[in-house]
Amino acid sequence: MSLFATKPLERILDESEEGEHSLRRSLGPGALIALGVGAVIGAGIFTLAGHAAAQNAGPGIVLSFIIAAIGCGFAAMCYSEFSTMIPIAGSAYTYAYATMGEFLAWVIGWDLVLEYAIGAATVSVGWSGHVLDLLRRFGITLPERFTISPFDTVRVGDQVVHGFINLPALFIIIIVSLVLVRGIKESAVVNTIIVVLKVSVVVVFILLGWGYMNPANHVPLIPANTGVFGQFGWSGVLRGAGVIFFAYIGFDAVSTAAQETKRPGRDMPIGIIGSLLLCTILFILYAYVLTGVVNYHELNDPHAAPVAQALSHMPYPFLSIAMDLAIIAGLTSVMLVMLLGQSRVFYSMSRDGLLPKVFSDIHSNFRTPWKSNLLMMSFVGVFASFVPIRILGEMTSIGTLFAFVLVCGGVIVMRRTRPDLHRPFKTPFVPLIPILGILWNLLMMVFLGVDNWIRLGIWLVIGLAIYFGYSRHHSKLGTHFSQPVAPRSR
């Protein structure tokens, strides 16, 4: 069997029918937008905006958010076309299987572990830090060595304490995984409540902060370049867009819930593009208020959170605790969506024979891939407990960008090979939009460090070993899919 043999689309669509391994269709457009917002609004908006403003763009960070959003928009339109044409769990993995063949489908499915599973581990470490800060406000402290990874150290008085395990990060991974086992509908309800909470606090920050902005802080909007590429000027705005691009990571996770959506042809584009649009508006307003209340030079302090600095300029001390709670809630919802997406990708890969059957076993009552959820809980828990957040974040970033590149390329391939297919949503201006998406995301990958590329290479080598050692020999593409397919009724 050719490595680039594609999985018949008729079979892919046939798998969405009700059966022993079917998922429950219970999500509408509102829940999908909440899933997207829940995945996107998290650590990025509360940390990266201040850093990028101080180091790269100044008040022009507002323009950086717009530029990054346009780049994400290219990928969002491509995801929307695929998710309505192929409304199956699996996201980019399923799309690649139908367009570029089994080998590349495996590569992207394995790569998505970096975005979803490792991404959840990254966020759990950030969640741990914010929870510890909140506890300290109430005089509660935990032993430092049980709150950081073995590769991290922290200074306590005159002593340097080495980490042993990050227990809070492990704790939240377990809790979120158990919520997902209970069911997607219940998970969506929990996520929607969290999203309403954190969006409300961000909106309150914007409304209250608007009256305390100093117009002088926005002049000039784009500070003069220092003579170094990426330090202010337009090059700084572009560099800032690359930095805060990662604040948008997560909107594509909506596509993994396509098989659990009541009307995917209508609702998936609303969920994907709607969540990205809503987050973009909030990000721009947030960045504008942040740099208006606090001079961008002051945001260079690595020991103070940008939000805390802004609140120190306003007579609302109660907002400090509220913002802490919002950040914690935001990070919780990010993990919920990331772990949801990961289990659905492995669910699809298992259905295709590329992973063991355990990943597609559905709970008889909850109708969720519960064994996959529990296995991923163990895997992600190890990374959350023992790996530093810097390494986790870099792995997440390059995995996400790689997935975006393949999805954009898949739209071009599918338009040429299957122009007759019904597409409830069509990416406009093909091939221009997909090409722009490919170039944008490749550019972001180029600026990532060499160490990150090495880790990506090692991860892909491990994946190839699994594919040629197990997956190719158990694939259903050359057996089950060789049989004729009964026509589907519309």
pLDDT in tens, 182-198: 876 656 676 677 778 87
- Predicted structure pTM score: 0.77
In a domain, residue 184? The reply is: yes
CATH code, domain with 73: 1.20.1740.10
Q: Is the pLDDT of residue 66 over 50?
A: yes
C-beta separation of 319 from 208 below 8 A: yes
User: Does 490 reside within a domain?
Assistant: no
- Report the C-alpha gap between 135 and 173 in whole angstroms: 19
pLDDT > 70? residue 486: no
Please indicate, yes or no, if residue 215 is contained in any of the structural domains: yes
Report the distance separating Cα 111 and Cα 460, nearest Å: 7
- Please give the pLDDT value at position 487: 33
Judge whether 4 lies within some domain.
no
pLDDT at 175: 93
Residue 3 lies in a domain: no
pLDDT score of 37 = 80
Hey, which residues does 261 pair with through a beta bridge?
27
What does the block give as tokens for 98? 């139908």
Span 232-241, pLDDT tens digits = 888 888 878 8
Per-residue pLDDT at 485 exceeds 50: no
Residue 6 lies in a domain: no
User: Could you list the residue range(s) of the whole structural domain that residue 455 is in?
Assistant: 27-482
Whether 482 shows a pLDDT value over 60: the answer reads: no
With 60 as the cut, is the pLDDT of residue 95 above it?
yes
298 C-beta neighbours (distance < 10 Å), count: 19
Task: Give dist(CA 144, CA 259) in Å, integer.
Answer: 43
* pLDDT reading at 27 higher than 80: no
Whose tokens are 């700084």? That residue is 236
SS (H, E, C) 77-145: HHHHHHHHHCCCCCCHHHHHHHHCCHHHHHHHHHHHHHHHHHHHHHHHHHHHHHHHHHHHHCCCCCCHH
Would you call 216 exposed, middle or buried from its count of C-beta atoms within 10 A (0-12, 13-18, 19+)? exposed
What is the mean pLDDT of the segment spanning 10-33?
A: 64
- For residue 406, give the H/E element and its range: helix 389-417
pLDDT tens digits, residue range 114-127? 878 988 898 888 88
pLDDT at 483: 39
Q: Give the mean pLDDT of 196-221.
A: 88
Percentage, residues of the chain above pLDDT 70: 87
The per-residue pLDDT for 302 is 42
Confidence of residue 1 (pLDDT cuts 50, 70, 90): low
Amino acid at 441: N
pLDDT of 23 > 60? The answer is no
Lowest mean per-residue pLDDT among 48-57, 138-147, 346-355: 48-57
Is 144 contained in some domain?
yes
**What's the pLDDT at 303?**
38
Q: Is the pLDDT of residue 285 over 90?
A: yes
Number of domains within the chain: 1
Residue 470 banded pLDDT, cuts 50, 70, 90: very high
pLDDT score at 82: 84
Q: Exposed (0-12), middle (13-18) or buried (19+): which is 108, by Cβ within 10 Å?
A: buried
Helices 318-351 and 92-99, interaxial angle, to 10°?
Answer: 30
Strands 159-162 and 153-156: antiparallel
The mean of the pLDDT values for the chain is: 81
Contact between residue 176 and residue 260 where contact means Cβ atoms under 8 Å apart: no
Residue 2 lies in a domain: no
Look at residue 106 and tell me whether its pLDDT is greater than 60. Answer: yes
Predicted pLDDT of residue 291: 92
**Token couple for 22:** 């079917």
Cβ contact 118:395 at 8 Å = yes
Cα–Cα dist 8/418, whole Å: 11
- Band (pLDDT 50/70/90 cuts) for residue 148 is confident
- Are 217 and 294 spatial neighbours (Cβ–Cβ below 8 Å)? yes
Which region among 303-312, 432-441, 443-452 has the lowest average model confidence (pLDDT)? 303-312
